[in-house]
Structure 1
Amino acid sequence: MNDFSKQQDSVSSVLKVFGILQALGDEHEIGVTELSQRVMMSKSTVYRFLQTMKSLGYVQQEGENDKYSLTLKLFDLGAKALQHVDLIKIADQQMRLLSKATQETIHLGSMEEESIVYLHKIDSLYNLRMYSRIGRRNPLYCTAIGKVLLAWLDEQAIRDILAPVAFERKTAHTLPDIDALLAELATVRETGFSEDREEQEVGVRCVAVPVYDRFGYVMAGLSISFPTIRFDEQQLAHYVTMLHQAAANISQQLGLARYPYPAI
């Protein structure tokens, strides 16, 4: 089978899966025979796809009657997507205010498995700027946003998340191992902000603070990134204050009663 034929088969399989999911969504429960008629596939093909979706947790079998129905796993995925849409929409205004005040690159990121993913970005107004893009993944251990996302988890959860990760020394400043990271995360919890001190890229620093959902859990990190040549340590406190105020505004619009840093 050539590559083109394999690609066609893959597309066909995806279309079949979504056809089955759509049909399941139209009924509370449905048997294989009726489902195969609805989607115009053989019973054996429908059964094979159902068993795979069942093993992945998207479909359940209703008791002894051989009928199938959707689980809430798809709802959970949709809820997460909507949460990010709401977050980005709310964060955009605050990020633009930060951009106007600092003229530096502003990022919003969340955790996905053992990485951060950039959800939104406002580019620096300077010609010299940090390279990044929405959707790009970066390690948790050497980024300011990553440290913020990890800091309020318990130690075992952090170790579990980073178990498959090799601590690559991207620069001479990169933290060497998880124990060094855990020590720094204790400081992040105490101060309420994190830093990337040229740990991801030489010549680039970053400061980040947490964004909370309505239940008080850290759901994202908000950061300012800048080249070291445009920064001195006296700016740090000012950047942290602005970030906390922006993150507090975002978190409160997401339903948080009170942002937990009284110094803002």
Structure 2
Amino acid sequence: MSSQPDQTSPPAQTGHKVHSPQSVTRVIRILEALCASADPVSLADISRQLDAPKSSVVSLLRGLEEAGFVQAADNGWRLGPGAFGLGSALVAARGQVQSSELIHKGMADLARASSETVIFAVLNEDGASITYVDVIESRETVRFTIAVGNRRDLYCTAGGRVLLAGMKDEAVDAYLAALTPQAHTGATVTDIAAIRAAIAGARKTGVAQTTDQAANGATGTAAAIRNAAGHMLGALVLAAPTARAQDRLALLRDQVATAASAISRSLGYRG
């Protein structure tokens, strides 16, 4: 006798279907759960991941099965042909939207939430500096101001440090071995061991934060933006006057981390 997929009978129909926002979210999370597994996923596992009753989950699975997005398999559920067709269509649609547009939209959201200047920085070919390629300035009277095209060193900027944190150890070692740090301000860290520790901290938390390192009176907070393949596209940087930033450093870190994650997800990253 062939084994049956882990199922629970759906609740009796009442003559109408309820399409709630919660149901839409659960459908998306079901598809994400099946995408993440090479093997069939049991109803129990799906229910546990969604923190939802089996009866609710199986009702959604049946609807997805009818549409061809999932199919019952031994001891569980897997993606159906409809899901792969949708995936191909989504990839094609995303290709029509430039990554820069999605990044800029996320930058605008962060600028509104923080009321500070937001920058997108990319690594230069020399592997030792970044260039600011997009800037949305704060509307505050006192604000951090910088022009598109401006270049900064990696070791003394939040954007540079978070990009170093995303590199392989060998690349970081080579960079630091060739580095002769210069003090841009009285607070600039020039000790190689201290710079290495700052990079390690950014690697651990996913966020880098600097105060008065590249310029007096400027505090930077940065997180990496990644594409669908997991490659770093650049750094999302929030720049604020130090006097205004000092009482909310933790908040700024949370805001930047959340914004960078949202932008990366819009680009297809699921790490």
Is TM more than 0.5 here? yes
CA distance in 2, matches of 1:86, 1:109: 17
- Secondary structure of 1:195's partner? strand
- Secondary structure of 1:141's partner? coil
Structure-1 residue corresponding to 2:154: 140
Shift, 1:120, TM fit: 0.7
- C-alpha root-mean-square deviation of aligned residues, in Å? 1.9
Letter in 1 for 2:164: L
Structure-2 residue corresponding to 1:171: 185
User: Pick from 102, 105, 109: which aligns with 2:117?
Assistant: 105
Structure-2 residue corresponding to 1:223: 237
CA distance in 2, matches of 1:242, 1:190: 17
Alignment of 1:173-212 (within 5 A): 173-212=187-226
- Secondary structure of 1:232's partner? helix
Using structure 2 for the length normalisation, give the TM-score. 0.60
- Secondary structure of 1:231's partner? helix
Indicate whether 1:115 and 2:156 are aligned.
no
- Number of residue pairs the alignment of both structures matches: 174
Contact 1:99 1:124 in 2 (8 A): yes
In structure 2, the CA distance between the partners of 1:179 and 1:155, relative to structure 1 (3 Å rule), is: farther
CA distance in 2, matches of 1:204, 1:231: 9
Which range moved further: 152-161 or 247-256? 152-161
CA distance in 1, matches of 2:270, 2:129: 29
Indicate whether 1:131 and 2:154 are aligned.
no
Shift, 1:89, TM fit: 1.2
Shift, 1:124, TM fit: 1.2
Structure-1 residue corresponding to 2:63: none
User: Pick from 62, 86, 89: which aligns with 2:101?
Assistant: 89
CA distance in 1, matches of 2:105, 2:148: 17
Shift, 1:223, TM fit: 1.4
Unaligned stretches of 5+ residues in structure 1 = 1-82, 259-264
Contact 2:211 2:242 in 1 (8 A): no
Indicate whether 1:240 and 2:267 are aligned.
no
CA distance in 1, matches of 2:122, 2:99: 11
- Secondary structure of 1:201's partner? coil
Structure-1 residue corresponding to 2:46: none
Q: Share of identical aligned residues, percent? A: 30
Shift, 1:161, TM fit: 3.5
CA distance in 1, matches of 2:197, 2:255: 26
- Secondary structure of 2:225's partner? strand
Unaligned stretches of 5+ residues in structure 2 = 1-94
C-alpha distance after superposition, 1:153-183 (max 9, x if no partner): 2332123335554311111221113332111
CA distance in 1, matches of 2:241, 2:160: 19
CA distance in 2, matches of 1:175, 1:88: 32
Alignment of 1:25-64 (within 5 A): none
Shift, 1:193, TM fit: 0.6
